[in-house]
Amino acid sequence: MRQVKLKLLIDASKSSAGFTLIELIIAMVLSAIFMGLTGYGLSVMTSKNQSAEVETQRRTQLNRALEYISEEIRMARTITPATGYTITSATPTCAVATPILSLTIPDGADLKTIVYYLNDLSSCAKNQTVWFKPGVIKRVDLGTSTSTTIADVNGQELVDAISNTAAPTCTSGTISPATGAKGFYVCLDNPTNARKVELHLRAKLSSESSALYEVSSQAFSRSQ
């Protein structure tokens, strides 16, 4: 009977002796793998959330810019292509400016001139501009000035990440700019003084993707 009790005690001491070194190493390796996979999954999820947030912001900014320009078109007394204007002293110097749209808007007893243009930044290095490439839409208020020369430094940035891919032709009306239309262009029902304007904006949603987001609208002058 004593031998049986002694054997039970020995067996019990063996079962409670703890993990062997090999078992501990295996457990540590499995834990490290699990933690690594968990960290990678969290990193991927965070990156996707950030990308989705950036894309949402780009869509919001583009729609706001579309509505802003559309509202000024509605207030305009005259609407023409901005072909008669020259943008000088591009900032940065790597930018290529293309005048798009000219508006004259009642300002009290006077008429002020607003010019919209596109700065193509695709040739600029990353450290040359704070704006998202390829392009940025800019607006300049000339007041009552009749000068056709615009210093780029006076332009106000409206929205960036504008596409530099070739734009489709207008289904009707006259396109502006007449050549080299890209992510910001308009279709005018009358090139000398339009009343209806089709406004088109296209932008990249993220720097990692070539996918484009396009918004369009029609605006009618109410001041003519």
What's the pLDDT tens digit per position in 83-141? 999 999 988 899 999 999 999 999 999 999 999 999 999 999 988 999 999 999 999 99
What secondary structure letter does DSSP report for 167? P
pLDDT tens by residue, 22-42: 877 887 888 878 777 776 666
d(CA 40, CA 181): 43
Half-sphere exposure of 219 (CA within 13 A, CB side): 22
**What are the residues facing 105 on neighbouring strands?**
112
**What are the residues facing 223 on neighbouring strands?**
none
Expressed in percent and rounded to 5, the helix, strand and coil fractions of the chain are: 35, 35, 35
- Token pair in block for residue 178: 């007449």
pLDDT tens by residue, 152-176: 999 999 999 999 999 998 988 999 9
What secondary structure letter does DSSP report for 208? T
